[in-house]
Structure 1
């Protein structure tokens, strides 16, 4: 067995360019941009498994390369005897199979079928491309390379550009156990946020005085402006942590995470205010559906949707997004304003609708093509890759 310890002597810079990886950077910045991955050598010069030192970043619906390279000595090792396996680390003791290849034989597992391919950028490349990235793809991945009895592993963290938002249902605050919180986020086009996502949101100014579930089963809440009603005024700002709670018996709110939309949220212009049933019918007549809470937050974050008009959402709540704060629109901070859950018979509000992109298929997934086909097209046209992977 090769030692899995990497001795810090020198850094080798491996340059990857990928036309499949995307970010929200403007197109004029993305042109010609390259992804830089640093890898380590041991004191014999033999590199075992090399992966990205930080994290790779994309958004929902994009494509991303999880970089991994390997080197075996002697170099004349039969490629057919090299096994490449990718797994997702779901927690400290559990792994989810993603992809495995032995020579030319390959297999993709579960929800990754049809979306994961070897990059095949040359000898020693174990990188995989994930297409049509989903919210659930977020997390930590392990790249394992095995040659007979020798093996080594490396890890890649896949991050998503997105937004965290607190959520509670019509029934009120602190009504959700862990599983109900998980379902509530999914119903609003989101997933339970991770601790790192909540911490990043706090760094960006999220301040919320009610504790909520996170994906690891802990209960936390972010405080940017300490006050007595939120854990004492004299305590420092930060993410307050209740620790891991009983998933069945204890009840809190939830913190959800969502990313870029495969569609558009818009306020439906009407001369008259509508009740909930009329709002639903109005969106359908316009070729859309009533927007979910997560979709409105994503539109606020990525579309920069700014509308000082309250409207119905799918869960029966009334909200509106503010990018440029003004006094008549609910305060001095940007955000999605929440006016609660009124009686659905009230004709006091407008409605926010959501329309999926035209390229979406009937099943809700984008049509994907294999990286090999796209590479052939790029070579034939000599075009410059426009989309890149960003490594932090």
Structure 2
């Protein structure tokens, strides 16, 4: 099972009053897109002689905005999963008092905080489990230019590039790993932030300390910024399609199709760079019409001293000629 817990596994007591006591793991459990994970939760009764058929177990996903999404409920032998979790969630059933659930084929949208609630008639108790994904945060702006996206448009452009809007925790982690970006972008909670590792006057003030700058929560319809997207392990692999000549955008799309692949999305290229360690010093088309290339080992002729995915912008699709990055899908 592809699962790990970031702190040494032990159960923490959430509440020691009432007839039902729920215990969950500290820290967070970590997996990647396409993986399988167990969200740990146990309970016991006071007194202990309670009919198991009267125990109700409910799992709910809780967003930063305190919105609740039903995930799974079980009462005795009756079980039901909801929404996108249907067919992917089941009880672990590792013994008496086990309320843990197993989630298969993890998606980007599964990232977040989960509540485990156990009810015995009128008594209940809850615990929380944080599910994290291994992946990469990347800044994104569309061909129309900088600061053109309201919140809903930012959500959509991330989705189109095989990603979701990043959380504050994901952006903060990316900043700790060196992400430095001088343009503010939407996050999934509706806030607008940007990470600065090397303070300079054009990015606030050169005497300001490094950190994640925060504009706070902005109007989701009226205000416009860039986006910070998050993606995880990709289903397949990305590669630079070797050709004898460079091509325009339409020719690039067709070349990938002839190779039984599709032109790579921006999120897929970032995932290949971060997870598959793709290193290619050749500029190529990607799905949104931009020209990019991934660098693991920086060298002078490959665009600067830092690793990253280089972005050469959005050239004329018809007349400018480059290589192309293709994405070939695979089964997990």
TM-score when normalising by structure 1:
0.82
- CA distance in structure 2 between the aligned counterparts of 1:91 and 1:238, rounded to whole angstroms: 21
Give distance in 2, aligned partners of 1:298 and 1:42: 40
Equivalent in the alignment of 2:318: 345
Secondary structure of the 2:270 match is: helix
The structure 1 segments of at least 4 consecutive aligned residues displaced by more than 6 Å after TM superposition are 41-44
Counterpart for residue 189 of structure 2? 216
Is residue 62 from structure 1 mapped to residue 43 from structure 2 by the alignment? Answer: no
**Residue of structure 1 equivalent to 2:163:** 190
Question: How big is each residue's C-alpha offset from its partner over 1:18-37, in whole Å with a ceiling of 9 and x where there is no partner?
Answer: xx3346xxxxxxxxxx9723
- Mark the CA change 1:324 to 1:42 in structure 2 (over 3 Å): closer, same or farther: same
Candidates 201, 205, 218, aligned match of 2:178: 205
Tell me if the contact between 2:147 and 2:224 (Cα under 8 Å) persists in the aligned partners. yes
Tell me, what secondary structure is at the counterpart of 2:250?
helix
* Matches for 1:84-123 after TM superposition, within 5 Å: 84-123=57-96
Instruction: Say if 2:212 is the partner of 1:239.
Output: yes
Question: 2:246: which partner in 1?
Answer: 273
Structure 1, unpaired ranges of 5+: 1-19, 24-33, 360-365, 367-392
Cα offsets for 1:240-297 (capped at 9, x unmatched): 0011100001000000000011110000000100000000000000000000000000
Match of 2:262 in 1: 289
Contact 1:192 1:255 in 2 (8 A): yes
- Give, in whole Å, the separation in 1 of the partners of 2:56 and 2:213: 44
Q: CA deviation at 1:350?
A: 0.2
- Quick one: higher RCO (CA 8 Å, sep 6+), 1 or 2? 1
SS in 2 for 1:280: helix
**1:21 aligns to 2:2 (yes or no):** yes
Output the CA distance in 2 between the equivalents of 1:237 and 1:41. 36
Consecutive unaligned residues of structure 2, counting only runs of 5 or more, are: none
SS in 2 for 1:71: strand
Which residue of structure 2 lines up, in the alignment, with residue 140 of structure 1? 113
Structure 1 110/271 Cα, relative in aligned 2: closer, same or farther at 3 Å?
same
Q: Does 1:160 align with 2:160?
A: no
Provide, for residues 288-347 of structure 1, a one-character-per-residue CA deviation record: whole Å limited to 9, x for no partner.
Answer: 000000000000001000000000000000000000010110011000000000000134
Go from structure 1 to structure 2 and tell me whether the alpha carbon gap of 1:40 and 1:131 turns closer, same or farther (over 3 Å shift): same
Structure 2 SS opposite 1:37: coil
Are 2:270 and 2:309, in contact at CA under 8 Å, matched by a contact in 1? yes
Q: Deviations over 1:159-191 (max 9, x none)?
A: 000100000000000000000000000000000
1:31 alignment counterpart: none
Between the two proteins, the alignment pairs up a number of residues equal to: 330
TM-score for the superposition, normalised by structure 2: 0.96
CA RMSD of aligned residues (A): 1.7
Tell me the residue number matched to 1:5.
none
